[in-house]
Amino acid sequence: ATLSLVTDCLFCKIAAKEIPAEIVLETARALAFRDINPQAPTHVLVISKSHHANAAALAEADDGLADDLLKACHAVAVQEGVAETGYRVVFNTGPGAGQTVFHVHAHVLGGRSLQWPPG
Ligand code: 5GP
Ligand code: ZN
């Protein structure tokens, strides 16, 4: 289910502007802000304003929101100046993949060389 605000969700609170964040881009359904613990010169989180636990839940919602998020990630990369040199978009999905905040977010990482596989 999509709720406009899940009371105990950190990223719902950021989406509602109840908790401050360094916002870099906002669209009708997405918000992008800098990660508080950046792992690269550009490290921006792109979230849906509506609550979905992760990318798996977002995919099952099937309402075009995943498309919005991908386009927002691309716009962030262009705005941050990393679209030309290369960047990475990551959805950590589930605790085994390192997901710690259970509100869907894409990490947009760039500005340094990125190794593959990520480990
Ligand atoms: P995950 O591990 O769930 O894929 O990523 C969660 C990310 O959220 C981490 O990179 C972490 O640094 C970031 N984060 C956690 N709390 C906050 C916060 O209050 N503000 C911001 N801007 N980022 C946060
Ligand atoms: Zn949420």
For ligand 1, atom 4, name the residue with the nearest CA: 99
Is 30 inside a domain boundary? yes
Q: What is the pLDDT of residues 11-60, one digit of tens each?
A: 999 999 999 999 999 999 999 999 999 999 999 999 999 999 999 999 99
- Nearest ligand (C-alpha, residue 101): 1
Distance (Å) from CA 85 to ligand 2 centroid: 32
- Prediction pTM value: 0.95
Ligand 1: distance of its center to the CA of 24 in Å?
15
Q: Is residue 78 part of a domain?
A: yes
- Confirm whether 99 is domain-assigned: yes
Domain CATH code at residue 18: 3.30.428.10
Q: Which domain holds residue 85?
A: 10-110
The complex's ipTM works out to: 0.99
How many domains, in total, are found in the chain?
A: 1
φ/ψ bin of 62: left (φ > 0), alpha (ψ from -120 to 50), beta (otherwise): left
